[in-house]
Structure formats: structure tokens, C-alpha cells
Copies of this chain bind each other. A is one copy, B any other.
């Protein structure tokens, strides 16, 4: 609760500083995102809010998400193959994502050694690094048995071992 309060204050300040208003729609979307820790798509948010008998339009969702991202308290990430997902950010919180191709689960990770190697690479090419996006995809621990079963069932449609590649 204290955490939410803090982010709400930041958002309020952000709006105030540019003469924008904290409407009930903006407030509802804020609450929805900060009420749980998940990686949500814009349309999921729309559905959830409407399920809570909150009248809100798609356009407002997108417009508000833009404000939230811009204010720095919400992050926008490409996780699936189409569209973005939004996640709340705590102050100073940076992480990248590990995504299970079977169940879709998203795990956040932070590896300082990767972060610093990124800086090295950027420096090597004379780049000023502004942002990065790093996703790793695979099969999570609990999907491994299922993945194995599926692999056996289909006669590996895509596996073209190098023995056949020429």
C-alpha cells in the first residue's frame, strides 16, 4: 500500500506539472496496474476494467498507458509476437525477461554482469546507450515434461539435423 501511494504521488505530480487532470479513468487504470504484479496487454486491461463495471474506452486505455509509461512508473515491453505488455516498475527497478514458449509465463531476471557488458559493447562502437530490450525464450521447468511429450508426438516437423542439410 505504501508503495502504491508513492507511485500515485509520482503520477499526480507528473500530471500536475503539465496541467493534466487525474480523471476517474486514469485512476482506475492506475489501480488496475498497481493492484497486482503482472505483465498485461492493453486489451486485457480494458476487459478487466469493464468487468469491474468501469466504463472506459480502448482509446483512453492507450492514452493513459502512454502517460504512465512516460511518467516512468510503468514499463512497456514486447513480450509476445504481437503487441506490447505493460508492467509496473518500482523505483530503480530494472530487469529483463525470460519467457516460457509453452505456458507463456514471464520471469524477470537481472544479471549485473550482462548489464555491464552491454555498456562495454556500446562503448566499443562509440554508442551512447539509451535503452535495451533483452528477452530469452525457452521452456520453463514445469513445462519441460509437457514439452518433451509434444516433441515425441509430432515427428519433429522443424528439426532438420545437419545430416540432412546438404
Chain A interface (Cβ within 8 Å of chain B)?
9-10, 13-14, 17, 70-72, 78, 98, 100-101, 107, 109, 111, 113-114, 117-118, 120-122, 124-141, 144, 147, 158, 160, 164-166
A121 partner, pick from B78, B101, B111, beta carbons under 8 A = B111
Interface on chain A toward B: helix, strand, loop, or mixed SS?
A: mixed
The CA-CA distance from A129 to B147 in the complex, in Å, is 13
The CA-CA distance from A141 to B122 in the complex, in Å, is 10
Q: Nearest Cβ in chain B — how far from A65, in angstroms? A: 14
Nearest 8 pairs between A and B by C-beta? A126-B141, A132-B136, A129-B138, A130-B138, A128-B139, A134-B134, A127-B138, A128-B138
A127 partner, pick from B70, B100, B113, beta carbons under 8 A = B100
A165 partner, pick from B10, B118, B133, B137, beta carbons under 8 A = B10
Is the CB–CB distance between A126 and B113 below 8 Å?
no
User: Which chain B residues lie closer than 8 Å to A118 at the CB level?
Assistant: 114, 136
Q: Nearest Cβ in chain B — how far from A57, in angstroms? A: 22
Is the CB–CB distance between A136 and B129 below 8 Å?
yes
Is the CB–CB distance between B117 and A98 below 8 Å?
no
User: Which chain B residues lie closer than 8 Å to A137 at the CB level?
Assistant: 129-133
User: Which chain B residues lie closer than 8 Å to A124 at the CB level?
Assistant: 109
